């Protein structure tokens, strides 16, 4: 798709040639609901540790920045009103944080970003879980914060009888992230002494109460888990419009926006960037990734035919309201470079069928991007923040050296 005319040719060429960041979102057998019926989909292994370890190993072989693990607190459904009763589509999933923790010691470089639903979880628990993931991965953890409150999901928890207004729900999520971040900082980096001779394991003066008081949470702290290796693991959020943009601008290190066309991407990027600037310099740098479901093949007709075959199995066309690409890796590379001119720093791709499209990303798209000089040929950092060029922040409660 052509870039908007508002970008100068020189600026467009410059943006399209800069190195880009690339991630994949993993869920079941793939984004398409019939993907589990594809050859090679391994449906009997979807809920096994080996299956997920293999997927992440493939993504790491492709030098991707991170993988995200989809999750939710209700069964998958084609209906927004509750379980749809279908038995011809994948239902059930493993916990994303625990899955990421399992694969962490089996990988060395790739970031691991599980989804967390802030609406129904306590920030103290999430802070501890992601800090633990950062420790066991040696600095490669993140989280994707989600807001979700359909009535059938609310009934799983009994915390409230009705959904919050949208703005308040996203405000609650922002407070959730703030508590999580403060708890990560509640241990100084050097709080652990571990001195056998003196019998001192920890310096109690370097553990801090966070004393957060808000409308939805009241948390004293400190955490019970030492400060993560990254200081602050990566916080991400996905958004299509409105209040969700505010969550990215206020609380995230990286945001995901639907990549439908250049003008829509440019508008979303501009709105989020304006909100980020309004938050002040303390908000720090922000990565914005285009979210896109992909069906890749050696030629475009074959990719379209495969999607149509899956649509027939599902009984309905896939992609209503979503950003979907069907075509060759080279065509996708063209599109990604074009959309870079709209202000994105990278892309998170959702394989339509993981068994086919994940290897197509790592073994065909990545080499194509490397040939164009816009993607790494080796991992250049040991932490996820390092891969994204983000500095390790100092703890907010630690004593500052005297001037």
Tokens, residue 293: 């479901």
Per the structure, the count of domains in the chain is: 1
Pairing state between β 234-238 and 287-296: unpaired
Q: Write out the residue range of the structural domain in which residue 311 sits.
A: 9-387
Q: Tell me: pLDDT of 80 over 50.
A: yes
Q: Tell me: pLDDT of 6 over 60.
A: no
| Closest C-alpha among 47, 41, 29, 32 to residue 96 | 47
Domain CATH number, residue 272:
3.20.20.30
Name the residue with tokens 């999750």. 71
Q: What's the confidence (pLDDT) of residue 16?
A: 59
Q: Tell me: pLDDT of 15 over 70.
A: no
150-189 residue pLDDT tens: 888 888 888 888 999 999 999 999 999 999 999 999 999 9
The alpha carbon torsion through 9, 10, 13, 17 (nearest 10 deg) reads -170
- Residue 400 forms part of a structural domain: no
- Residue 401 forms part of a structural domain: no
Q: Tell me: pLDDT of 321 over 50.
A: yes
Q: Tell me: pLDDT of 324 over 60.
A: yes
Compute the half-sphere exposure of residue 16: CA atoms within 13 Å on the CB side of its CA. 18
Strand partners, 68: 25, 113
- Residue 398 forms part of a structural domain: no
Res. 320 pLDDT band, cuts 50 70 90: confident
190-201 residue pLDDT tens: 999 998 999 999
More confident residue, 321 or 393: 393
- Residue 403 forms part of a structural domain: no
Q: Tell me: pLDDT of 2 over 90.
A: no
Kindly report the pTM of this predicted structure.
0.93
What percent of the chain clears pLDDT 90, i.e. is strictly above it?
81
119-155 residue pLDDT tens: 999 999 999 999 999 999 999 999 999 999 988 888 8
- Residue 395 forms part of a structural domain: no
- Residue 315 forms part of a structural domain: yes
Interatomic CA distance for residues 239 and 224, integer angstroms? 32
- Residue 317 forms part of a structural domain: yes
- Residue 129 forms part of a structural domain: yes
Do you know the residue count of the chain? 403
Tokens, residue 160: 């409230």
């Amino acid at each position: 798709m052509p870039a908007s005319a508002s970008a100068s040719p020189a600026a467009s060429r410059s943006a399209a040639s800069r190195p880009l960041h690339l991630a994949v979102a993993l869920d079941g057998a793939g984004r398409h609901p019939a993907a589990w019926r594809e050859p090679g989909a391994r449906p009997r292994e979807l809920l096994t540790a080996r299956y997920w370890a293999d997927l992440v190993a493939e993504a790491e072989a492709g030098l991707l920045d991170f993988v995200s693990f989809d999750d939710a607190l209700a069964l998958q459904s084609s209906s927004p009103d509750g379980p749809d009763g279908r038995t011809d589509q994948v239902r059930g999933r493993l916990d994303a944080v625990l899955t990421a923790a399992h694969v962490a010691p089996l990988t060395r470089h790739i970031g691991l970003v599980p989804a967390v639903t802030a609406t129904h979880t306590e920030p103290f628990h999430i802070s501890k879980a992601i800090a633990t993931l950062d420790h066991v991965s040696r600095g490669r953890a993140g989280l994707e914060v989600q807001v979700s409150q359909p009535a059938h999901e609310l009934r799983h928890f009994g915390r409230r009888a009705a959904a919050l207004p949208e703005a308040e729900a996203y405000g609650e999520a922002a407070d959730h992230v703030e508590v999580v971040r403060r708890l990560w900082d509640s241990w100084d980096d050097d709080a652990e002494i571990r001195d056998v001779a003196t019998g001192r394991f920890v310096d109690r003066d370097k553990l801090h109460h966070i004393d957060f008081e808000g409308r939805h949470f009241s948390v004293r702290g400190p955490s019970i888990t030492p400060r993560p290796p990254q200081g602050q693991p990566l916080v991400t959020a996905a958004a299509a419009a409105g209040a969700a943009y505010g969550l990215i601008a206020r609380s995230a290190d990286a945001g995901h926006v639907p990549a439908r066309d250049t003008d829509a991407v440019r508008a979303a990027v501009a709105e989020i960037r304006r909100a980020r600037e309004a938050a002040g310099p303390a908000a720090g740098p922000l990565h914005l990734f285009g979210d896109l479901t992909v069906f890749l093949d050696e030629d475009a007709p074959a990719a379209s035919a495969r999607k149509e075959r899956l649509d027939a199995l599902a009984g309905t066309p896939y992609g209503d309201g979503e950003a979907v690409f069907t075509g060759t890796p080279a065509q996708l590379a063209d599109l990604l470079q074009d959309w870079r001119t709209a202000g994105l720093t990278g892309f998170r791709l959702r394989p339509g069928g993981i068994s086919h499209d994940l290897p197509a990303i790592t073994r065909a798209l990545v080499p194509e991007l490397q040939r164009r000089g816009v993607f790494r040929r080796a991992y250049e950092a040991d932490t996820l923040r390092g891969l994204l060029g983000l500095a390790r922040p100092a703890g907010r409660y630690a004593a500052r050296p005297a001037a």
